[in-house]
Chains A and B, each alone.
Chain A
Amino acid sequence: MDLTFNAEERAFEQDVRDFIAANLTPEMKRATALTPSVFSDPDIGMAWQRALHRKGWGAPGWPADHGGPDWTSAQRWIFEAESARAGVPNVNVMGVKMVGPVIIGFGSPEQKNFYLPRILSGEDYWCQGYSEPGSGSDLSSLKTRAVRDGDDYIINGTKIWTTHAHHANRMFALVRTNEGERQQDGISFILIDMKSPGITTRPILTIGGDHEVNQVFFDDVRVPVANRVGEEGKGWTYGKYLLEFERGSGIASAKLRDALKTIADLAASDVTGRAIDDPDIALRMSEVEVDIDALEMTELRVLSALQTGQNPGAVSSLIKLRVSEIRQAVTRLGVDVIGNDGLAVEPSRPFYRLNHEPVIPEELLPVVPEYLNGRAYTIFGGSSEIQRDIIAKMVLGL
């Protein structure tokens, strides 16, 4: 067992660094640093997606025959770590990391040929239609209906917490095509063109002051049956497959380390009156860093298990839980580090394109909104309570 990189891995690390240095513009870097929401705005994120695609790195987790780079686990690790360290924008994860793997796993050849290249190139921007006002943690109780009418489904209902629905041209959604014996039966996985007549989108502002999520309404929206992925009524299976990707496939420790470094740098600077000299702040900083060390080792153990063909299984719930809790600890530390400057509210967005002088130093603007928006980490993708249910059932066999 060995944590160090071999010569090939070090050479790859240098390739990644060179690529980032040549393609990450100062504007992208600044915009990313000043974005307090979970996702980058599409103009920033998709510019990065196009750069990655030109290099053949548009979808690191995909198999090579669908345009993936065919990396080893170590290469994926290095790519994620270097990307986080450099502060690159978030790409459209709903496309690359969510619907992409489902289409690859269960889609028809036509769907693969049509959608996958458009995800890679950044031509399509995806949003996820899962939650509904009455179906949060109990997702499979969802009520949005798709009724067959010739070669179309007619969709009626509503989806909520839809990240970037106001930017997306496509949505993948779980809809009810049948009333089954169990509520998990009768759900289908369907791909929807957001420009279809009958779709309206209502913005929802989060407590940090950002417009990231929406409610989407479907009023007799026609979607071709050909847009259903896999079998009718099997959508729950595909949806769960995706959720496991959402929870566990990412390499989160590198991003958390970068987020902590941002706060640590602020704490060591005169802007915060050297908050780091407060022993309580210094200790909590170490406590969070050690938690990230533990998470990083767990991620490496999972990667290594994957590489030897083992299935890490429900450990994705364990990782999701820790990532969300550590993320909140980092943002909480940020609020305490900036002290009084956290009292100033800047309502305009985006922070990297303000047309006035901010009332506090620019780099402090995202700190409080990040903490506030970050309360969502222990709620989305299955709340922490749901993750504990899953761990009890799947890891402990209860």
Chain B
Amino acid sequence: MDLTPSDEQRLLRESADRFVAETFTGEYRRKAVSDPLGFSPAIWKQFADLGWLALPIGEAYGGLGGGAIEIGILMEAFGRGLVSEPYLATVVIGAALVGQCGSEAQKQSILPKVAEGKVYLAFAHSERAARFDLSHVETTATKTAHGWRLNGHKTAVLDGVAANQIIVSARIVNANGVSGKLCLFLVPIDTAGLTLRDYARLGGGRGCSLDLNDVQLPADALLGDGSDALPAIEAVVDRAMAALGAEAVGIMQTLLDTTLEYTKIRKQFGRPLSANQVIRHRLADMAMQCDEARSMALRAALMADAEPVARSRAASGAKAKIGKCARFIAEQSVQLHGAMGVTEELDIGAYFKRLLAFDTLFGGSAHHYRRHAALSGRAQT
């Protein structure tokens, strides 16, 4: 048992903190919001040069073989700078799905390109009727003479507009109807029948919904050998939630630091806001919840490779708890900035919105407390 970061981990934190502080200024962020891609490919190239895109990819595929702790270190720094580069969609989720489900040929053709920054990926899984149930997929894949035909509708696809290939989940249809098997398909962005409705995502980055109307795919579009992909999806989403938790901690820490400074400077009734006990106690609660969130994000990362039930309980526990802390810190940060907190003139609002998006992604606190209870053998709620 040892929670001391290794030298490599310390260096990674230092370089990530430095790069993010220098690069992701408020000015950059305001430009990115109106950018059709939501980020800058030039910076993505720098991510590649820094080795961050290769970080979690296996060494056999041009990667560095890092784990959830290293991803968490990066994501926390990204949170501090409100980075909107599609790191989660392409590296944390996309590359991980290819790594877990893909055939050797698919891994060889995709993963090195992700590591070099030449391929962007996205994951189209959520559907309107599913809410946050990962097993609920109505999109269908029908075997054809030449491969596959996909039909369905996907929502909340993160950074789809930037992707060269979208990984789409679908249920296989055979002669008897829809089978139980959930599979993943690699769909190039320019495939006929694929309609993408892109939007600016709350808190930064892009999102989209997808319509798949008789999308024709070759046989090798199927990711891997066609075995059920749900366990892999659950594992990858659990790890994505751990990564998002670390990002949220970076956001919360920035909000706390900024709010703390503001309450020292802002004077009313002839004294700083921070001279009032009610304000001091609120800040103490914010600091406490920020620290609890930090513990939970670290715990989810440390459990990322545990057996599935332990891993999922840690991931859901972290998502639920960090979501709760995030809402508290976000709302109190606006509150303690007074009317200024409600304006776009400060960065507080941008951080607030990113935390709101964090809480929603992959399901909010209530959903994950329920999942935790169910995984713990308590009432099926």
Contact = CB atoms under 8 A, between A and B. Distances in A.
Contact of A297 (B9, B283, B298, B372): B298
A318 B291 contact: yes
A398 B262 CA distance: 12
Contacts of A297: 295-296, 298-299
A291 B370 contact: no
A396 interface: yes
A286 B372 contact: yes
A285 B373 contact: yes
B365 to A, nearest CB: 9
A290 B298 CA distance: 13
B285 interface: yes
Contact of A286 (B260, B264, B292, B369): B369
B339 interface: no
Nearest to A302: B3
B96 to A, nearest CB: 20
Nearest to B325: A294
Given A1-B9, A286-B372, A294 B1 contact: no
A287 B320 CA distance: 8
A285 B292 contact: no
Interface string A271-283: 0000011110111
Interface in A300-337: 300-301, 303-304, 307-308, 315, 318, 321-322
Contacts of A315: 291
Interface stretch (A3-11, A48-56, A181-189): A3-11
A396 B283 contact: yes
Contact of B372 (A1, A290, A318, A322): A290
Contacts of B89: none
Contacts of B287: 318, 391, 395-396
B373 A286 contact: yes
B381 A1 contact: no
Contact of A290 (B264, B284, B369, B378): B369
A385 B281 contact: yes
A382 to B, nearest CB: 13
A285 B377 CA distance: 11
B274 interface: yes
B318 to A, nearest CB: 8
Nearest to A77: B1
A354 to B, nearest CB: 33
Interface residues of A, number: 47
A15 interface: no
Contacts of A287: 320, 369
Contacts of B280: 388-389, 392, 396, 398
A278 B287 CA distance: 33
Interface in B1-38: 1-6, 9
Q: Which of B284, B288, B291 has the most CB of A within 10 A?
A: B284
B379 interface: yes
A394 B244 CA distance: 29
Contacts of A277: 379
B166 to A, nearest CB: 34
A298 B295 contact: yes
Contacts of B373: 282-283, 285-286
B260 A396 contact: yes
A396 B369 contact: no
A318 B296 CA distance: 15
B3 A304 contact: yes
B88 interface: no
B281 A283 contact: no
A340 B284 CA distance: 38
Interface in A247-279: 276-279
A2 B2 contact: yes
B283 A392 contact: yes
B291 A298 contact: yes
Contact of A304 (B2, B6, B292, B314): B2
A297 B295 CA distance: 5
A298 B274 CA distance: 26
Nearest to A398: B274
A304 B4 contact: yes
Contact of A276 (B9, B303, B379): B379
Given A283-B369, A290-B321, A301-B295, A396 B284 contact: yes
A293 interface: yes
Contacts of A278: 379
Interface of B: 1-6, 9, 69, 260, 264, 274, 277, 280-281, 283-285, 287-288, 291-293, 295-296, 298-299, 302-303, 314, 317, 320-321, 369-370, 372-373, 376, 378-379, 381
Which 5 pairs of residues, A with B, have the shortest CB-CB distance? A297-B295, A392-B280, A282-B378, A304-B3, A391-B284
Given A4-B1, A318-B288, 9 more contacts: A2-B302, A279-B381, A286-B369, A296-B299, A307-B4, A388-B280, A391-B284, A396-B260, A398-B283
11 contacts: A3-B299, A74-B2, A77-B1, A276-B379, A287-B320, A290-B296, A290-B317, A294-B295, A295-B295, A297-B296, A388-B280
